[in-house]
A and B are shown apart, each in its own frame.
Chain A
């Protein structure tokens, strides 16, 4: 049974929600609009909204800046690389914990989460030392490994909650029918696990893409991803709003779109199953 909804009430809620929603979204919208203005229009007084000469010159200017393509490439390689590496390590672990739970499974899961709570600042200098010792400062492989380690607890956790939803009876039925462990994994588990793994990958690419502690402090140029590239815009004040906006939009657009698809997984992944 649902409560009676008068059309007037519905319109009222719609107006309120849209108004507040647009207010929250406004900084992104404004950045988007500014990215199509000329630098002088971008700081015109009073501000102009939609009626200006739309131009894509900022985008081409940013793309021509030598290090933008490199930063984009680094972001992609680091985010995707760390996610894939994490998945490779996490899938077997989560699978074993979900289907062959032991007495200590719960403790292991909680302990893994606890590593996520370790503030990065507490291990900053040792990491710099270790990176220098192995000669991997400012390298992609360093960031791939570190971001994988940071997100591994979340990956294991998410996969575990997904795998646990796969009914055990199906596995038993397959075993009864004489399926070997190998074919059990390939034909029974994998198809059922794919959606969960896909969502996990999606959320982790987002998290790795936006990570802004290690990526800023452990890179200079060669491995600097977009987070660091954008930070380099903090120095010149004033006349670069349009270019800053164009660079920002290019940095956030792919993740924004992926994020919209992963709303539900976000809750699951970031609350470790504590809110359902």
Chain B
């Protein structure tokens, strides 16, 4: 039993973590909120503290916002579908009996540890580059015209790069879930003559559904703020400007702080909608 004294001590021990996070969360966010209602363009010396919802109106109604939102959704959807489908298949594959399973797992999860700027530049220069990239050699080898991925299909290129980085994450988590599946249930189904596809559909997939949900939510939160990969590849040009990148450009490049802050608040709200679902799942899990 915890005594009064130990409760007081516990509170003191928790306090520093809570206080720094509270300051970290509230101070900058309140500043952004404040700027989002202001006309603030430091380069031109403009500062008007209150212009109402003007920034929100012009940010939300601009075509660049809708484009950025569309790009973001396509990017996240593309990456999610590749990593989830690929992750499930890899998890099931890695669960099979084989030689050197540990080594294969190491090979598969390696991309997750590569820093974003490195993976983006390696893909950009050594694979996608139209003159010297490996894909161009492959196209030539197959007798086709080399394809300039980064300018012809920039969004697809980014999706490939980021999906490559996140596939290991999905695989690792889904593998953990696959391994917790009881083999008795599968064997019973097998003895009853259920074919592989229905075993997958009626036993394995339902068992994985929670892990898949968690992967989707966590990845979505991270993917909504993809930055480095776009920063070093086409730099937001050619239709790869995501919401995060658009806000970055408004704030730091064109120095329209009011407009950018309104965009930042919009991004926070969108991310929070996803976060609520994730928190529910995590919260439920805390009870058992």
Contact = CB atoms under 8 A, between A and B. Distances in A.
Contacts of A106: 283, 286-287
Interface in B214-265: 214, 218, 221, 224-225, 227-228, 231-233, 243-244, 247-248, 251-252, 257, 260-261, 264-265
Contact of B93 (A20, A114, A123, A129): A20
A119 B107 contact: no
A230 B117 contact: yes
A97 interface: yes
A92 B161 CA distance: 39
Interface string B1-33: 010001101110110111011001101110110
Most chain A CB within 10 A, of B20, B100, B113, B169, is at: B113
Interface string B160-173: 00001001110011
Interface stretch (B44-52, B58-66, B175-183): B175-183
Interface string A124-164: 11111110000000000000000001001100100000000
A7 B109 CA distance: 27
B242 to A, nearest CB: 10
B137 A46 contact: yes
A117 B173 CA distance: 19
Interface string B81-117: 0000000001001101111110111111111111111
Contacts of A153: 21
A52 interface: no
B110 A28 contact: yes
A124 B117 contact: no
Contact of B228 (A90, A231, A256): A231
B228 A122 contact: no
A186 interface: no
Contacts of B224: 119
B153 interface: no
Contacts of A255: 113, 115
A230 B108 CA distance: 23
B211 interface: yes
A216 B229 CA distance: 11
Nearest to A120: B225
A108 interface: yes
A263 B105 contact: yes
Interface string A216-236: 110000000011101101100
Contacts of B231: 216, 231
B16 A47 contact: no
A119 B113 contact: no
A66 interface: no
Chain B at the A interface: SS class: helix
A234 B286 CA distance: 44
A95 B97 contact: no
Interface string A92-127: 110111011010001011101111011111111111
A51 interface: no
Contacts of B110: 24-25, 28, 256, 259-260
Interface in B120-165: 121-127, 129, 131-132, 134, 137, 140-141, 164
A276 B180 contact: yes
Contact of A234 (B6, B105, B121, B141): B121
Contacts of A251: 115, 118
A5 B93 contact: no
A87 B107 CA distance: 30
Nearest to A125: B251
Nearest to A164: B286
Chain A: interface size category: 35 or more
Interface in A65-111: 89-90, 92-93, 95-97, 99-100, 102, 106, 108-110
A61 interface: no
A14 B228 contact: no
B57 to A, nearest CB: 19
11 contacts: A20-B108, A31-B122, A90-B17, A96-B14, A112-B18, A121-B267, A231-B121, A234-B121, A244-B121, A271-B214, A272-B282
Interface of B: 2, 6-7, 9-11, 13-14, 16-18, 20-21, 24-25, 27-29, 31-32, 35, 90, 93-94, 96-101, 103-119, 121-127, 129, 131-132, 134, 137, 140-141, 164, 167-169, 172-173, 176-177, 180, 183, 187, 190, 210-211, 214, 218, 221, 224-225, 227-228, 231-233, 243-244, 247-248, 251-252, 257, 260-261, 264-265, 267-268, 271-272, 274-275, 278-279, 281-283, 285-287
Interface of A: 1-3, 5, 9-11, 13-14, 16-18, 20-22, 24-25, 27-28, 30-31, 34, 43, 45-47, 89-90, 92-93, 95-97, 99-100, 102, 106, 108-110, 112-115, 117-130, 149, 152-153, 156, 181, 206, 209-210, 212-213, 216-217, 226-228, 230-231, 233-234, 237-238, 241, 244-245, 248, 251-252, 255-256, 258-260, 263, 266-267, 270-276
